[in-house]
Amino acid sequence: MKRTFTLLLFFAVTLVFAQEDAWISLTDKPNVAASIANPISILTQKAIDRKQNHSVAIDERDVPVNETYISNLKSQTGITVLAKSKWFNAVHVRGTEDNINSLSNLSFVENIDFANQNLDTSSRGTVRLDKTAIENETIAFTYGDTQNQVEMINVDQLHLSGFTGEGMTIAVMDAGFPNVNTMAAFQRLRDNNDLLDGYDFVDRTSAIYAFAGSNHGTKVLSTMAGFIQDQYVGTAPDASYYLFRTEDPGSENPVEESYWVEAAERADSLGVDMINTSLGYTVYDNSNYSYTPDDMNGQTTYISKGASIAAEKGILVVVSAGNSGATEWQTVGSPADSPNVLSIGAVNANEDYVSFSSQGSTAQVGYQKPDVVARGGAAYVIDEFDNIVQNNGTSFSGPIMCGGIASLWQAIPDVLPTEVMNLVRQSASQFTTPDDFLGYGIPDLDVARTMALSLDESELERIQLFPNPVKSYLHIEIPSNFNQVEVSIYNQLGQEIFNQIVTKHSKTIDVSNYTSGFYMMKVSTENNSKTFKIIKT
């Protein structure tokens, strides 16, 4: 009987791994020009406004995937459609190798990219890493406050100045958010209507607050949004939050990367300012799908490429570095390996590196990982039963920093996402001597605010723009101490329609051919920029 059971188990495992995962790239999209010309048909007004404010163009990547193509794929023999991406114009499918390859006969299929690269990946890892093993070890059940983890990055000074994340919108991508809708720790969030919405991309349901195998997302959210009077304050208690489940704790499969990209696209369409993700992808249950440490170069994994597009879209992406520092893997995972995201490592209460925090490596060529660090050793979090506990993990240093940056960004709203990231790095404790353990070190977010406000601020305020509203010619007067400035004008779609380096102290721009309406002008120096609203009559 035991032998029969073993054979049945063998055949069952063989059948499971006969199913392959692949990304199917599609040839085109419907109504691209019309959609871009009428962006409200594909994006929310908040998303359009954010793109305008950050000078991000609305392009073909914002147009949804052709649903007719998806329906056709679903009807193919042996094919299951698991996720879709408008940014990549691709669909994640599962089926046998032969069934997936047969999709190449469809006229709208441009390319097939198997998760099992070339179906020959003997060099890839074979051991699955438990990403949350360290984090699930509750060090102590204790009541306390977050004073150390807040003061460490000096976000308490921002709070004292009235900057608590209000007006900032954060999308949290994680494994599960049980009881967030009923917990006392999030009562302030709900009372202020800052718990906006959510979706479970794994189970395809809006029941985001049900237990789905993990309380990880609830703990992550608590470090930013948790509030218990006189006991616990998160780093951005007054920010607004979307909650998206993209991680399936029961298995490890590359479809989770696709879920993440779908959620990032949804976040972009909703106009979020920031994405926080305490997830990382390295090796999979099927070792044929696994990556190697050398693949952590910001250009290989689907999720890292998706995170880079999110950054291009004007979203500031904050990612936990990972908990592999003391393992054979050692280096940061994806998407923390992307040079376009802010990757957060971990230190303890004494500001010392903790051994589990994933490190930078030679795979990241020309850029530093992690970027900065915050407290992830014995960090204070709140579980789904409203208990304040202490857990280890970069999963918590990441959102602690994300919330802090949200409060910082509220204080300097005109600064671009890339500039915010640079200010955070420049304010850190070892900015001039970064290493692979702490990156640039522990940021001082109040110093970052001071730096932003001091960079040419007083001089930029002296720029004069007239007349406004304008009919034909717009005149710009620039302070004489500026050697040159860059002047850019953007239309209502966020598209740049004028760009010129101005070296004189006055400039006249002919706008007589511009259509009537609202435009944005950005005047930039080497260190700062100022944005003006222009009304063309």
Which of 168, 24, 44 lies closest to 110, judged by CA?
A: 24
Report which residue type is found at 336. A
Residue of 159, 147, 263, 271 lying closest to 204 (CA atoms): 263
Dist CA 334 CA 303 (whole Å) = 7
15 contact partners, CB below 8 Å, separation of at least 6: none
Q: Which two tokens stand for residue 317?
A: 């992406």
Q: Number of helices and strands (H, E) in the chain?
A: 15, 23
Sheet holding 379-382, edge to edge: 140-141, 388-391, 379-382
Reduce the DSSP state of residue 371 to 3 states and report it. coil
37-44, long-range: CB within 8 Å, 24+ apart, which pairs? 37/493, 39/493, 42/269, 43/268, 43/269, 43/271, 44/269, 44/270, 44/271
Sign, CA dihedral 60-64-67-70, equals positive
Nearest alpha-carbon partner for 235 in 191, 280, 274: 274
CA atoms of 323 and 129, how far apart (whole Å):
9
Contact assessment for residue 218 and residue 383, using Cβ atoms and an 8 Å cutoff: yes
Catalytic residue among 55, 216, 337, 397: 216
Residue 72 tokens, joined: 């056709």
390, β-bridge pairs: 140, 380
Query: In the chain, helix, strand, coil percent, each to 5?
Result: 30, 25, 45
For 400, the 3-state DSSP assignment is helix
Judge whether 324 counts as a catalytic residue.
Answer: no
Residue 108's Cβ-count burial label (10 Å; 0-12, 13-18, 19+) is middle
**Is 174 in the active site?**
yes
Q: Which residues contact 293 (CB under 8 A, 6 or more apart)?
A: 329, 330, 331, 361, 363
Closest CA to 397 of 212, 153, 156: 153
**Considering 21, 174, 200, 273, which one is annotated as catalytic?**
174
Q: Which of 139, 134, 194, 187 is nearest to 164 (CA)?
A: 194
CA 472/CA 467 separation, integer angstroms:
9
Catalytic (active site) residue 505: no
Q: CB-based contacts of 301: which residues, under 8 Å, 6+ apart?
A: 257, 281, 291, 295, 334, 335, 337
- Give the integer Cα–Cα distance in Å for 224 and 404: 8
Strand partners, 388: 382
Active-site residue (options: 35, 358, 395, 407) = 395
Distances (CA, A) of 106 to 27, 103, 111, 353: 10, 6, 10, 53
Which residues are annotated as catalytic?
174, 216, 395
